[in-house]
Amino acid sequence: MASNQGRRPRVVPAKPLRAAFVVLGFVVVLYLVELIDTYFVPAELESNGIDPRSVGGLDGILWAPLLHGGWDHLLANTVPLLVLGWLALSGGIRQFVAVTAVVWIVGGLGTWLIGADSVHIGASGLAFGWMVFLLVRGFFNRSFAQIAVAVLLFAYWGGMLWGVLPGQPGVSWSGHLFGAVGGLVAAWLVTRANRRSGSRSSRSRSAGTMSP
């Protein structure tokens, strides 16, 4: 997960247009899947989500973030995915893929373990994971700029974090909760990898300086 080697932590992508195309491409895939689910195999794909504590439902971990319960469900996730995904790309595509994979897997496994007895679908767990990643990375990195971005995000979207609590009908709070946990884990792993990489680079430079 190493990235930003020898550089200050970034708050926005180095190549903003490319980052926009990447996250927009992901969202377009979600819309294509919903289009297929709505008009070609009506509602059949939705059954491939996470079925908690069912061995047959484990593969839903792979598919759940790509599936939605209708256009309203997908539309509600679109803006958070675009904005948070773009900001999460500030560390580069490799780091973004690694962070997304951690959130995807941790969120899915957690939902499978403790989720309510229904099929869980939707990319909101990813949005929660990216949100928490962006909120905490600055504290792990000791980066004032990233903390400032986190404060702004919390001021605007902090209310979404209530979604990790049970009680809202039809909402997969377990997916939100473990997506958020995945974001926390990803931020810790990224920071740890970056520090190790930075230490190796420092030792290499020191060795080069001391060479006869």
Asked, for residue 132, whether it belongs to a domain, the answer is yes
Asked, for residue 43, whether it belongs to a domain, the answer is yes
Reported as a pLDDT band with limits 50, 70 and 90, residue 6 is very low
Amino acid in position 27: V
Across residues 123-142, what is the average pLDDT? 96
- Closest of 115, 111, 127, 96 to residue 61, by C-alpha: 111
pLDDT score, position 200: 59
pLDDT at 201 over 60: no
Three-class DSSP category at 50: strand
pLDDT at 75 over 50: yes
- Closest of 122, 138, 124, 121 to residue 87, by C-alpha: 138
Asked, for residue 102, whether it belongs to a domain, the answer is yes
Domain containing 158 equals 16-197
User: How does pLDDT run across 147-196, given as a tens digit for each residue?
Assistant: 999 999 999 998 888 889 887 888 899 999 999 999 999 999 999 988 88
pLDDT score, position 133: 98
pTM of the model: 0.89
User: How does pLDDT run across 77-113, given as a tens digit for each residue?
Assistant: 999 999 999 999 999 999 999 999 999 999 999 999 9
Asked, for residue 204, whether it belongs to a domain, the answer is no
82: CATH: 1.20.1540.10
Asked, for residue 169, whether it belongs to a domain, the answer is yes
pLDDT at 1 over 60: no
Distance CA 136, CA 161 (A): 13
pLDDT at 26 over 60: yes
Q: Count up the domains in the chain and report the number.
A: 1
Reported as a pLDDT band with limits 50, 70 and 90, residue 204 is low
